[in-house]
Structure 1
Amino acid sequence: MTDKAQWVEWFPGLSRLDAPTKQLLLTRSTIVTVPKDTTIFGPGNSPENMLFLLDGTVRVQQVSDTGHEIVLYRIEAGQSCVLTTACLLAYDAYSAEGITETPVDAAAIPRGVFDDLVSGSKPFRDFVFAAFSKRITDLFLMIDEVAFQRLDVRLADKLIKLSGGADMVATTHQKLSVELGTAREVISRQLQEFQRRGWIAQARGSVSLLDRMQLQQLADHNAS
């Protein structure tokens, strides 16, 4: 489906809404296009719209007072932002930032429409809270990984996932540290150990996977 004018049909929960509610979403929404590497929200800002992502990817990350960063989750096409949902429901400001990793198209509905539908449409309310519940569960899993799982296991797993089946990952030590919620120096030491074992080779801005089997065996500890 490519007709963004009928974007509600891209979201299974919204496509089951009654015709008047669908029409309200379509007539009151605005399709916005945002370039890559744009901060679309940040700490201290209050959301004025609920965003439904149609194309692209948005990275949501937390930044501490000391500048330490950790990726909380990513929003893909066909998803909404749980942090925006939480802020809209609580009339609160953002505590994290959202940055576009690719060019993004999204449907934006005003806060007033969101409020009216949450209070007046059970199917819409069910859609909002189902997405909210799933993302909260994902966040608890991430907290468990950061707090309790070995970094070498998590790093091996992240390299394999980022590779997408290829033999090379375009990334940096800093980006990996943000992904895994640790210091860049810690990532550097662990990558050096992987390289010493002959599992990877490093170059500026990239990591080559030389022994995917060994990395996969280590990553499989995530599931054990």
Structure 2
Amino acid sequence: MQTETWLDRFAGLARLEPPVRDLLLSRSAIITAPAGSVIFGPGKSPENMLFLLDGVVRVQQVSESGHDIVLYRITAGESCVLTTACLLAYDDYAAEGIAETDVQAAAVPRDVFDELVAQSKSFRNFVFAAFSKRITDLFLMIDEVAFQRLDVRLADRLLKLSGGADTVATTHQKLAVELGTAREVVSRQLQEFQRRGWISQARGAVTLQDRAGLLKLAQHHS
């Protein structure tokens, strides 16, 4: 019986053929980074494919309008598809990845990634399955930013960020980055939510007073 390795944290990798597993294990390195550190950034070329074992990485980009926007988050058991895209295209990063918590990841060197994408159907399937899911998510986000009302998106995001708790530790600026808009726009919308009795605000925190009210608005989010 084989002992558990970091590969077993990823459903698609646990089923790889033994030679491919052995290559990934022998050539990968486990790396760690503290909360707040920049894992990758614009203009840098990826040296490794990253598989997140613990923690959360926020991937964000500066939009054409000059606002930062959160593209997606990578959680434990996921690979970074932006890194995948850059590796496949031999391109530099166009966004940055920031550790929201302390993180631990398995780093697989570019040459191993290239070799396995070329030679292992099961590894290739894993890479492209993750890729297609994230691309679908990004199209949904583009639709949101382009076509959906900001009040609906803000209500939805507050509920998601709360994780079921009453208080979200955040600022107006951080919420603006989440939604790809200006801080002033978020501030005005939060004031309106407060006027309706849905939230209360303190420095660095938003408390959800009427989750049902927010949920009713967020359900317009299709």
- The interval holding the TM-score normalised by the smaller chain is over 0.9
- Report matched runs for 1:77-116 at 5 Å: 77-116=76-115
Identity %: 75
SS class of match (1:166): coil
**Offset at residue 67 of structure 1 (A):** 4.5
- Give the aligned partner of residue 217 of structure 1: 216
Amino acid at match of 1:111: R
Deviation at 1:197, TM superposition (A): 1.1
Higher mean C-alpha deviation, range 60-69 or range 32-41: 60-69
Within a 5 Å distance, the mapping from 1:1-224 to structure 2 comes to: 6-64=5-63, 67-223=66-222
Q: Using the TM superposition, give the Cα deviation of residue 161 of structure 1 relative to its aligned residue in structure 2, in angstroms.
A: 1.1
Residue ranges of structure 2 left out of the alignment (5+ in a row): none
* TM score, norm. by length of structure 2: 0.96
Deviation sequence 1:134-171 (CA, Å, 0-9, x none): 00000000011111111101111111111111211111
Structure-2 separation of matches of 1:182 and 1:87: 26
Cα distance in 2, alignment partners of residues 179 and 66 from structure 1: 15
- In the TM superposition, what whole-angstrom CA distance separates every residue of 1:109-128 from its partner, at most 9, and x where no partner exists? 10000000000000000000
SS of the counterpart of 2:79? coil
C-alpha distance in 1, partners of 2:9/2:162?
A: 28
In 2, the alpha carbon distance for the partners of 1:86 and 1:203 equals 40
Offset at residue 64 of structure 1 (A)? 4.0
Determine the C-alpha separation between the residues in 2 that align with 1:138 and 1:64.
17
Aligned residue pairs total: 220
- TM-score, normalization by structure 1: 0.95
TM-fit CA distance, 1:15? 0.7
- How many angstroms apart in 2 are the aligned matches of 1:30 and 1:205? 37
Runs of 4+, deviation exceeding 3 Å: 64-67
Q: In structure 1, how many angstroms separate the alpha carbons of the residues matched to 2:110 and 2:94?
A: 18
| Paired AA for residue 190 in structure 1 | Q
The answer as to whether partners of 2:63 and 2:180 remain within 8 angstroms in 1 is: no
Displacement of 1:66 in angstroms is: 6.6
